């Protein structure tokens, strides 16, 4: 008969916190308020407090410093929040993805898009998407190129339409189309009747231009580096879309991406620029190694069709 020594103690199995406890902790940690967190989680404050106390007991550490008027994370609490936030978000994303895969009748998709493509390239895609999936909410984040790239990398957008990011290892850059820069001018302007215009011919006309804060300005300046400098503009703005309004008002000519020129009939036209011809590549930008939800995949497919000129007009969406 074998005798167990008193020192041979079988350890108790370690209890693991529930996902509900972890979600409660992340919500309180982010909102810094038990009242606000309880409302967000649809719990009573006593029930939420019990979940936090249960989690602290299981972990053997204090996660929050509480007073009658405030709640704050401890040092270990801040560290734990940084680790748990991503886990909770990933699980939420998985649940939403499964729900979308089941029927694609509800849910949402968030698309980033540079200002210069949002007005004329994106609407037909949204119209076709709405015709197929009228119950899916489409959110648009319209910003400059750098901001749109950042919203994809930070997970704020499922994907984006952008012209930068090709060399960024954090994103996948899938080209949609090559878009030339053209000269926007009023329909009554002498250059509006031309098939093409050389850059050197612009010197005799007042021009509006995007500032150096715009990536479009960087592209153009780099392409024209070996030519004589363009004359000083009379107006400088931050966004290409603003240039269109200035040209329509007759304040000057402007170099813009072709997609920003309103479709006919319009009060302005886009004339081809030559010697040299300059273009940018519009692409679908998404985070590297991250799968897209079914709704985002469906939207990306329509973007690809639009880039190839194969977007078929859909039926009107049900109200």
- How many angstroms separate the CA atoms of 17 and 115, rounded? 45
pLDDT given at position 11: 52
Based on the number of CB atoms within 10 Å of its own CB, is 268 exposed (0-12), middle (13-18) or buried (19 or more)? Answer: buried
What is the torsion angle, in degrees rounded to the nearest 10, for the CA atoms of residue 165, residue 167, residue 171 and residue 172? Answer: 100
Mean pLDDT of the chain: 88
Q: Hey, where are the domains in the chain?
A: 19-93, 102-176+281-307, 180-278
State pLDDT tens for residues 216-237: 999 899 999 988 888 899 999 9
User: For 303-306, which contacts have Cβ atoms below 8 Å and span 24 or more sequence positions?
Assistant: 303/125, 303/161, 303/176, 304/174, 304/176, 305/128, 306/121, 306/124, 306/125, 306/176
Looking at domain 19-93, its CATH class is: mainly alpha
Give the integer Cα–Cα distance in Å for 142 and 147: 9
User: Among candidates 155, 179, 158, which has minimal Cα distance to 113?
Assistant: 158
Alpha-carbon dihedral 191, 249, 238, 140, rounded to 10 degrees: -100
Q: Which CATH class is domain 102-176+281-307?
A: alpha beta
Do the bridges between strand 207-210 and strand 235-237 make them parallel or antiparallel, or are there none, so unpaired?
A: parallel
Q: pTM of the entire structure?
A: 0.66
268 pairs with which residues across the strands? 186
Domains 19-93 and 180-278 share a fold: no
- Kind and range of the H or E element at 149? helix 145-153
pLDDT score recorded for residue 315: 43
Residue identified by tokens 């780099």 is 222
CATH 2.70.98.60 fits 180-278, yes or no: no
At a CB cut-off of 8 Å and minimum separation 6, what does 96 contact? 107, 293
Instruction: Give the model confidence (pLDDT) of 164-177 as tens digits.
Output: 999 999 999 999 99
């Amino acid at each position: 008969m074998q005798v167990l020594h008193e020192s041979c103690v079988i350890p108790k199995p370690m209890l693991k916190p529930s996902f509900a406890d972890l979600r409660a902790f992340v919500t309180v940690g982010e909102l810094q308020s038990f009242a606000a967190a309880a409302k967000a989680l649809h719990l009573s404050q006593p029930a939420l407090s019990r979940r936090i106390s249960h989690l602290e007991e299981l972990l053997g550490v204090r996660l929050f410093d509480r007073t009658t008027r405030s709640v704050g994370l401890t040092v270990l609490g801040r560290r734990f929040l940084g680790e748990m936030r991503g886990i909770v978000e990933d699980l939420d994303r998985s649940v939403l993805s499964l729900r979308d895969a089941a029927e694609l009748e509800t849910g949402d998709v968030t698309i980033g898009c540079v200002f210069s493509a949002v007005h004329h390239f994106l609407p037909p895609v949204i119209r076709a998407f709405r015709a197929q999936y009228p119950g899916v909410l489409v959110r648009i984040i319209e910003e400059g190129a750098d901001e749109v790239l950042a919203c994809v990398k930070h997970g704020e957008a499922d994907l984006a339409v952008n012209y930068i990011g090709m060399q960024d290892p954090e994103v996948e850059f899938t080209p949609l189309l090559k878009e030339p820069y053209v000269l926007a001018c009023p329909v009554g302007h002498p250059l509006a009747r031309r098939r093409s215009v050389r850059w050197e011919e612009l010197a005799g006309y007042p021009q509006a231009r995007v500032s150096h804060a715009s990536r479009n300005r960087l592209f153009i300046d780099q392409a024209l580096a070996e030519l004589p400098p363009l004359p000083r503009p009379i107006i400088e703005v931050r966004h290409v879309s603003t240039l269109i309004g200035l040209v329509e008002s007759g304040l000057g000519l402007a170099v813009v991406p072709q997609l920003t020129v309103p479709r006919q009939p319009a009060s302005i036209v886009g004339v081809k620029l030559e010697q040299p011809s300059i273009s940018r590549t519009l692409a679908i930008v998404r985070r590297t190694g991250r799968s897209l939800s079914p709704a985002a995949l469906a939207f990306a497919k329509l973007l690809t069709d639009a880039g190839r000129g194969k977007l078929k007009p859909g039926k009107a969406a049900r109200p």
